[in-house]
Amino acid sequence: MSVLVLAVVAGLTVFVRSSGGPSSSRAEPAHLDVLVDGKPVAVPGAIGIDQRAQQISPLHTHDTDGVIHIESPLKAAFSLGQFMTEWNVALTQDSIGGLKTGGGNDFHAYVNAKEYAGNPAAIEFRAHDEIALVYGPAGQKADVSSGCDWPEGE
């Protein structure tokens, strides 16, 4: 049996066809901060939203507040690397975009204020995760404390 799931998200109609029984919906946001040389870099709104084609990715943003919406009618694990691909910004263990470690600069990733060891592209999103990507001079301290006040019910 084929099930057609219809959802309206950010004014866009999303159709997903799946086989089998009822679909499970996941709508759990996470928050991303990007800091370069101690200054915040805005995560753009409308990442993963194609207004022209009327399509939306399961990983997307609505605003520039750093909230990543994870909305999928299918149960699946989603990673920071997948989101960065939607954003079209490369992410590796030692670089973000065109910024690479070396020459006195470091790159670190944090999840819920704890440094993440390994490639940050592999970070799997969990509800209300606070993720920070920090690039800048070696030894520079960055405030990676929780910065998102989640609205009730989100």
pLDDT tens digit sequence for 97-120 = 999 999 999 999 999 999 999 999
Give how far Cα 93 sits from Cα of 7, 75, 121, Å.
Answer: 35, 27, 8
**pLDDT-above-70 percentage for the chain:** 78
pLDDT tens digit sequence for 46-95 = 999 999 999 999 999 999 999 999 988 888 899 999 999 999 999 999 99
Are 23 and 74 in contact by the 8 Å Cβ rule? The answer is: yes
> pTM to 2 decimals?
0.81
